A and B are shown apart, each in its own frame.
Chain A
């Protein structure tokens, strides 16, 4: 049986259908982009689930000031043990940032993208942000630059943004309705005044939409981020998605709100619910009818370093980079070699993964995968802190998202025991809804617990490409009669 691999992107001219380690978005809108822009996207880890297994990114925290307040953000936070947007350990001067970028780019040659994402709003710190970009454009021309913003001062910054080597801009747009906006943003700083409520939200929305249009008109790629806040903007995001797509944004990233009380945010302290994995998927799917969706976002820190989902920031603290002596000219030569190799691997993987279509009858199944990257099943269940979730159905395989846990089941023998039981509960909860778990290996105890929870562990496809393995398991389930459609079941029982 052969099934198509769905919802995979970054159509490049040479890729018939991209796949393994599947990209996070459908290819409809990317395919329509000019060749020059498609090439820009190919090695960007934040734009494709597949590319992120090969290429790394880093953020530099040069922009601490913000010009708005969001109810999911607490400006007091500065914790090195947490990983989420807006959190950083040390704010850098532009000069320190440039040095750090060179150090990281030399040490991690697969680093392809540098972003400025906070911890405040980059465009509320225009001097620091643009000085960093100016210097990087000149001194590290092989690194793509991107910036994310709340959009409030975007229109006045567009001209300057166009002057640098800026690859794409991310605008966080949580609403297009000021009444909804007033529930998300308590105030903005605008024209020398603090403005509140619906008036503040109206200004912010107007600026975001104006800035979005200006970027599109100048040919800059725009990704839109939206924070899904159940009960406030969940249904509304479908409208947001439609509007930003109409304007020309090329990717929409709907992320779940993080609202734990200990973070001290307004939403955290007022008991705002976080969406379940199923709720998030439902909104992403509803938006996907109109828009290219990104589903692999790891909501990383404003100073994250490394492949998505990993953070090697601790290797590049200020005192450590001060002591480094970087020959960037030499590093660029090495980087170019590594990039060429990685792109070759990435394209080869896409080629090999294009599949002919054969329709089969069977219900959709969610499968979780433990992987360390490279698009293959290569991680022990007990070592995984993240599982990729795919849906296999009569229409093929598509990447749905990722589920994370704070700790792996087994960090070594010392952790097996009572603590392991609690960890197992957490893992089972995280994997809710999945019927199959694909990993390289799984221990005896978790095996039974997974089975009892209705999740079939499977270690038979170790080192195989993810989609191939999922298709094989799906076919096996079909053969065993486990995937009858509700209609077929009805007929039988009738």
Chain B
């Protein structure tokens, strides 16, 4: 059980600072979550911390690739309008 950070990450470091398991590190191009350390915050917090502070929709996905912050959920900008 682990989340994953994908290419749309802008390396703002916010998730790194709030991860209770120190599972997130800067991999230069983008940030990455260590799947061995990530617990999806199950025992620590009601909400996963990285996904609660990440400003980029779609940048963090769950184990089946579903974005934790789907398009439009953070900015109110509807996809298509933004393109």
- Cross-chain contact of B14 among A65, A192, A270 (Cβ < 8 A): A65
Within 8 A of A (CB), among B33-68: 45-47, 49, 52-53, 55-56
**Most-contacted residue by chain A among B46, B47, B77 (CB, 10 A):** B77
Chain B contacts for A71, CB-based, 8 A: 76
A194-B55 contact, Cβ under 8 Å, with A75-B10, A266-B76, A269-B82? no
Q: Which residue of A lies closest to B47 (CB)?
A: A193
Contacting pair A186 B74 (CB below 8 A): yes
Is A218 an interface residue, CB under 8 A from the partner?
Answer: no
Count of A-B contacts judged by CB separation below 8 Å: 64
Contacting pair B52 A264 (CB below 8 A): no
A332 to B18, CA, bound (A): 39
Contacting pair B47 A192 (CB below 8 A): yes
Contacting pair B81 A269 (CB below 8 A): yes
Chain A contacts for B55, CB-based, 8 A: 66, 69, 75
A193 to B49, CA, bound (A): 7
**Overall SS of chain B's interface:** loop
Interface size for A (C-beta < 8 A) is 25
Contacting pair B12 A189 (CB below 8 A): no
Within 8 A of B (CB), among A50-107: 64-67, 69, 71, 75-76, 78, 91
A197 to B17, CA, bound (A): 24
Is B27 an interface residue, CB under 8 A from the partner?
Answer: no
Contacting pair A125 B17 (CB below 8 A): yes
Chain A contacts for B16, CB-based, 8 A: 65
- Cross-chain contact of B53 among A76, A91, A194 (Cβ < 8 A): A194
Chain A contacts for B12, CB-based, 8 A: 64-66, 75, 119-120
Smallest CB separation, A192 vs chain B (Å): 5
A5 to B47, CA, bound (A): 58
A193 to B45, CA, bound (A): 9
Contacting pair A186 B17 (CB below 8 A): no
Smallest CB separation, B80 vs chain A (Å): 11
Chain A contacts for B53, CB-based, 8 A: 65, 67, 189, 194
Q: 10 additional contacts, CB 8 Å, given A66-B14, A192-B45, A194-B47?
A: A65-B17, A65-B53, A66-B55, A67-B14, A69-B75, A75-B56, A120-B13, A189-B18, A192-B46, A266-B77
A-contacting residues of B (Cβ < 8 Å)? 10-14, 16-18, 45-47, 49, 52-53, 55-56, 74-77, 81-82
11 A-B residue pairs with CB within 8 Å: A64-B12, A64-B13, A64-B14, A65-B14, A65-B53, A67-B53, A75-B10, A75-B56, A127-B17, A193-B46, A193-B52
B-contacting residues of A (Cβ < 8 Å)? 64-67, 69, 71, 75-76, 78, 91, 119-120, 124-125, 127, 186-187, 189, 192-194, 264, 266, 269-270
The 4 A-B pairs with the shortest beta carbon distances in the complex, nearest first, are A65-B14, A75-B55, A189-B53, A194-B52
